[in-house]
Structures are given as C-alpha cells and as structure tokens.
Structure 1
Amino acid sequence: MEPVPVHEDGTAPAEQAIQTTVALEGDGADIAQARHLAAGFLTRVQAEHGLPVSQRALDLTQLVVSELVTNARKYAPGPVLMDLRIAGDVVEIVVWDSDPVLPVARAADAGRVGQHGLEIVMAVAQGFEVQREPVGKRITARIALLDDPGGAIAGRNPL
C-alpha cells in the first residue's frame, strides 16, 4: 500500500479540484461555445474521474450555461468568465460579468415574450446565488449530477 502524503502539520493534501474555466470574449459564438464546453466537461468528468452524470444533468447544465451566458452577453459589456466545477454531487456553474447590477427574477407571466432566463435557471437549479464583486457580479447555479431513483429531482423537495 502506498503511503498517503501529508503536510508538515500532519494533514492530508486537499483533493485535486475538478474544474475548467474559460473567458468568453464577446463574439456571436460565445453561447454555443459555452454549451459545448459544459458538455465536454461533464463527459470528461465521467470518463476520467468515474463520476456518474445523468443525461438530465448534462441537458440542464447546458441549459443553465446558455441562459447565464446569454444574460451576461446581453446586459454586461466586456468579457464573461465561466467556471465549471464539481462540488460533491453537483456541478457548479459560475458566470462572472462586469455589470454590478444584480439580476432580479420577474414574476411569472405566461404572456411575456422573452426575459424568462433567470426564472428557468432558478426553477431547475438545486442552488442559486448572486454575489456582487469588486468589479461586476458572480452568479452561481448548482445542478445535481444524478437523478433520484424515485423520480424526484435530486436535491429538491417534491411539491
């Protein structure tokens, strides 16, 4: 058996983070590029790290990435940073943009055309946070990697 490396204080080093980060520069292909990156990231998580990822998690991650990057492109000037990382049994989607104005979900309105992106993200995510940064803001959404075998969405209470 191989010895486990330890720090001088006797603690084991932290597990290597599973994540990827990309800067999106603002051309018309950003949203498709971000979705493609998200799908490739989760495929690598399965293949290289042996973590199970449901098809639903893959689809929802791409949807959330699309909505968050679309909003950042629409409302904030300059580059957008996207970070995808595995945190336990969820994928965290973190999008930073330069606009300091925090988004607010609008009241549901079936007659409204467009502007449903934040509502969609909040409906499918197991966690959602918005933080103002020294420059701009950071939005984090969490999607469960697996579905509950009973049919419920993992991490959410059925209504």
Structure 2
Amino acid sequence: MSNEPQVVVVDSSHRDSAAARGVAAEFLKQHCPWADLDAVLLVVSELVTNAIRHTSGWWRLHLTAEKETLIVDIDDSSPLPPVARRPDFAGGGGFGWPMVLELAGQVEVRPLPDGKRVQAVWQRRSVMAPAC
C-alpha cells in the first residue's frame, strides 16, 4: 500500500446497508487485509442501519485506510448521538451500539453542522517477534 491514505465514500442516495457492506468488504480486501473483516463489516452494518433507522435524512459512509489505521466514519443528518439502551430480546433492538463499542478499537461521536459523525478506528496490531 502506498503512503497516501486510500478513501472511498458511499452516499445514501445511491446505496443501502447491504451495498455499504459490499463496498467495505472490497475496500478492506484491497487496502486493509490485516483488519478483522467480520468485525468491521458488523460495525459498518450497524452504523449504516442505525443511520437509516434513526434519522430522517441522508447518511454517508467514509472508509479511510492508512498504513497502520482503518477509519470508518458514518455521517448522518441527526445531531443526536447513539444511545445505549437495554437489549430487547423480543425484537426491539438495543444490541448494536454496545457491539460497535466492543468491536472497534476506538469510537467517537462528533457533531457536524448538519448532523453528526460516528467514527470507529482500528489500529493494525504489530506482530511481536518471539523472545530468544
């Protein structure tokens, strides 16, 4: 991979959550083969689904790969941050946000002028050489 960050953007006007996962999977294969594909796709799916379910407007997925870092940003039209709630085993949800917090290395929520950004970051783990 080059030293320049690699970026892809998926806009809600052209895609749904399944398409976002597909784009993310291809992006990871090309630019972040070291990342845990299943964990990242679960986070992408959760964040996009939350944007679709809990906002009345647009969402945008940004994937950025740097040499040792993968950044997943979801921007959406709601200024309200995600809220953890008691899981509802009868189908009412409540499982996604805790899962995002557990699977991503770091998660931040930042306000935007027209909504918010949820950012999940993974760092490449270095492989330690065995001690002699």
Sort the TM-score into its range (normalised by shorter chain).
Answer: 0.7 to 0.9
Partner of 1:53: 34
Matches within 5 A, 1:10-159: 15-25=3-13, 30-45=16-31, 52-54=33-35, 57-106=36-85, 109=87, 111=89, 113=91, 114-146=93-125
Alignment coverage as a number of residue pairs: 125
Aligned mates of 1:66, 1:142 — CA distance in 2: 15
The 1:19–1:101 alpha-carbon spacing in structure 2 relative to 1, beyond 3 Å, is same
Structure-1 separation of matches of 2:126 and 2:102: 15
User: Can you list the C-alpha shifts for 1:66-125, whole angstroms capped at 9, x where unaligned?
Assistant: 000000000111221000012442311100000111112235x57574221111000111
What TM-score, normalized by structure 2, do the two folds share?
A: 0.82
Runs of 4+ in 1 over 6 A off after TM superposition: none
Percent identity between the two aligned chains: 34
Structure 1, residues 34-79: CA drift from partner, whole Å, max 9, x if none? 1000000011115xxxxx425xx11111110000000000011122
Q: Which runs of 5+ in 2 are unaligned?
A: none
Query: TM-score w.r.t. structure 1 length?
Result: 0.69
Between the aligned partners of 2:67 and 2:106, the Cα distance in structure 1 is 13
Structure 2 Cα separation of the partners of residues 34 and 138 of structure 1: 16
SS at structure 1 position matched to 2:79: coil
Does the CA contact (< 8 Å) of 2:75 and 2:117 recur in 1? Answer: yes
**Cα RMSD, aligned residues only:** 2.3
1:22 Cα offset (Å): 1.4
Shift in CA distance, 20/101, structure 1 to aligned 2, threshold 3 Å: same
Q: Which has the higher contact order (CA 8 A, sep 6+)?
A: 2
The CA deviation at 1:19 is 1.3
In structure 1, stretches of 5+ residues that fail to align are: 1-14, 47-51, 150-159
**Structure number, greater radius of gyration:** 1
